[in-house]
Amino acid sequence: MKPNVGRVICGGCVATPAMTVFMYTLAPAMGVQLDIAAMLGSMLGGWKMGMLLHIMNGVILFPLIYALLLYRFFAGSPLAKGIGFGVSLWLLSQLVVMPLMGAGLFSSNIGGTMAVLASLFGHIVYGGLLGLLGGPAEESSPEQSVRTPHTTGASKPEYSGRM
């Protein structure tokens, strides 16, 4: 059982802009500058490339990873599963991505605790929307929905070739 991939990608289409708006509006209100596009762009050749990667990750890559690989490992409702996924992405970002971009382990070079909390909140928003809009799991293929009729033990009559 997997969530509907199309719905999860649609969830990514809503969750990514929500997280992006948070990064550029609410995080600064918390006293933190989280310009993820600039940080990603520093490795890729500019802000536009960084934003493109951020959008591609949020709309396509992460929803596919969630729906096809990781959904079954998270417990609870679709919302809880999505939040679990968002927190997992946050942890990965703080342990691997942020240090690679020069922000330090747990964003120690770009604001420390407030940056970590702002990032966590953004990832919870992303994951929650992804899970909520992606919805519950469905049967993953039409073949699985075909049920064999329950028999009472009687066998089918054989065809004798006569009419």
Write down the residue that tokens 């993953």 correspond to: 140
| Distance separating alpha carbons of residues 118 and 116, to the nearest angstrom | 6
pLDDT of residue 78: 94
Does a structural domain hold residue 155?
Answer: no
Q: Total structural domains in the chain? A: 1
- 22 closest CA partner among 121, 136, 90: 121
For residue 3, what is the enclosing H or E element?
A: strand 2-3
Tell me the pLDDT tens digit for each residue of 135-145.
Answer: 888 765 555 44
**Neighbour count for residue 102 (Cβ, 10 Å):** 11
Does a structural domain hold residue 113?
Answer: yes
Q: State yes or no: pLDDT of 160 exceeds 60.
A: no
Does a structural domain hold residue 92?
Answer: yes
Q: Residues near 122 by Cβ (< 8 Å), separated by ≥ 6? A: 19, 22, 23, 27, 34, 90
- 18 closest CA partner among 50, 53, 55: 55
pLDDT of residue 145: 46
This prediction's pTM? 0.79
Does a structural domain hold residue 144?
Answer: no
Which class for 68: exposed (0-12), middle (13-18), buried (19 or more C-beta within 10 A)? middle
Does a structural domain hold residue 161?
Answer: no
| Distance separating alpha carbons of residues 54 and 67, to the nearest angstrom | 19
- Domain hosting 71: range is 2-138
Tell me the pLDDT tens digit for each residue of 22-73.
Answer: 888 888 888 888 888 888 888 788 999 999 999 999 999 999 999 999 999 9
What 8-state DSSP symbol labels residue 138?
Answer: E
How many Cα atoms are found within 13 Å in the side-chain-facing hemisphere of 94?
Answer: 22
- 23 closest CA partner among 109, 90, 99: 90
Does a structural domain hold residue 149?
Answer: no
Tell me the pLDDT tens digit for each residue of 70-111.
Answer: 999 999 999 999 999 999 999 999 999 888 878 888 888 777
Tell me the pLDDT tens digit for each residue of 11-32.
Answer: 999 999 999 998 888 888 888 8
Does a structural domain hold residue 54?
Answer: yes
Does a structural domain hold residue 72?
Answer: yes
Q: What is the CA radius of gyration of the chain?
A: 22
